[in-house]
């Protein structure tokens, strides 16, 4: 049986890579490698996962230098000469080994007022939002975010400017300002027009490049920049 050489980050912010020999299997995922190491070789290895089918967004890690959802990443696709290097996500504090503290990532969604604010009309009756409506299409394009943090880890602006809201939080805000049922459009725009808001984005598009579910947060952020600019010029912010 052939084996893979798997290097895994051990420690917290300070640490080192440790190498494990893992048997190679057909259709093996990167999460399978980590699970094998934890179950068979070293039970002290810390990592995070839940659904294993690309829905929950828990298992994102850095694989050979690239942020990825490990449950849907085949080893065959990423291994170079039988070697895989697995590290925790960038731009987040490491708790232990492959587990990062995701609290700052989710806090930014709240800072960006990334929560639905029901309008009076929506509370009284079921809103009709036709699928072909342009705003509905914009919201649909960004709504499937699984909150995995891959875009946050891929973003250089998050690294350079830690207070920046980041692509996931801003993408969430974009889905809300395009939601006909939401009752506080200006409130959402005010939140993301703050100093570390949407205007800090340089449109490098790393978020779009790495998003595992194919969302383009850069596009959402560009839309927010336009809306904020118009609102600011009209004195509505």
Partner 1 sequence: MKRPELWLYVAQRGSALVLAPLVLLHLGVILYAVAGGLSAAEILGRTRTSWIWPATYGLFVVAAAIHAAIGLRVVLREWTSWRDSSLDIATVGFGLTLLLLGFRAVQAIA
Interface residues with partner 1 (CB under 8 A) are: 157, 160-161, 193-197, 199-200, 225, 228-229, 232, 237
Q: How far is the CB of 138 from partner 1 (least distance, A)?
A: 22
Rounded to whole angstroms, the Cα distance separating 43 from 4 reads 19
Nearer to partner 1, 127 or 231 (CB): 231
Assess contact for 154 and 210: CB atoms under 8 A: yes
Residues 6+ apart with CB under 8 A from 136: 129, 130, 178, 180
Nearer to partner 1, 212 or 223 (CB): 223
Q: How far is the CB of 194 from partner 1 (least distance, A)?
A: 7
Nearer to partner 1, 143 or 161 (CB): 161
Nearer to partner 1, 75 or 228 (CB): 228
Q: How far is the CB of 190 from partner 1 (least distance, A)?
A: 9
Neighbouring C-alpha atoms within 13 Å toward the C-beta of 48: 22
Q: How far is the CB of 113 from partner 1 (least distance, A)?
A: 15
219 membership: H or E segment, kind and range: helix 217-233
Q: How far is the CB of 198 from partner 1 (least distance, A)?
A: 9
Nearer to partner 1, 41 or 196 (CB): 196
Residues 6+ apart with CB under 8 A from 117: 176, 182, 183, 184, 187, 188
Strands across the sheet with 83-87, in order?
Answer: 15-23, 3-11, 83-87, 60-63, 66-69
Query: Of 33, 41, 20, whose CA–CA distance to 77 is shortest?
Result: 33
């Amino acid at each position: 049986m052939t084996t893979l050489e798997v290097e895994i980050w051990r420690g917290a912010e300070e640490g080192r890579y440790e190498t494990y020999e893992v048997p190679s299997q057909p259709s093996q995922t990167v999460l399978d490698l980590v699970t094998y190491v934890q179950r068979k070789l070293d039970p002290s290895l810390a990592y995070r996962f839940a659904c294993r089918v690309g829905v929950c967004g828990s298992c994102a890690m850095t694989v050979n230098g690239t942020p990825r959802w490990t449950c849907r990443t085949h080893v065959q696709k990423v291994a170079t000469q039988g070697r895989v290097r697995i590290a925790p996500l960038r731009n987040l504090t490491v708790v232990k080994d492959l587990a990062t503290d995701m609290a700052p990532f989710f806090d930014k969604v709240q800072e960006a007022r990334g929560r639905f604010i029901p309008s009076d009309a929506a509370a009284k009756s079921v809103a009709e939002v036709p699928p072909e409506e342009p705003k509905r299409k914009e919201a649909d394009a960004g709504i499937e975010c699984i909150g995995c943090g891959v875009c946050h880890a891929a973003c250089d602006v998050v690294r350079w400017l830690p207070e920046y809201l980041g692509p996931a939080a801003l993408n969430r805000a974009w889905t809300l300002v395009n939601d006909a049922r939401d009752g506080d459009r200006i409130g959402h725009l005010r939140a993301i027009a703050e100093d570390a808001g949407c205007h800090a984005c340089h449109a490098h598009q790393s978020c779009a490049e790495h998003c595992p579910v194919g969302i383009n947060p850069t596009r959402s952020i560009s839309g927010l920049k336009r809306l904020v600019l118009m609102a600011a010029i009209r004195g509505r912010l």
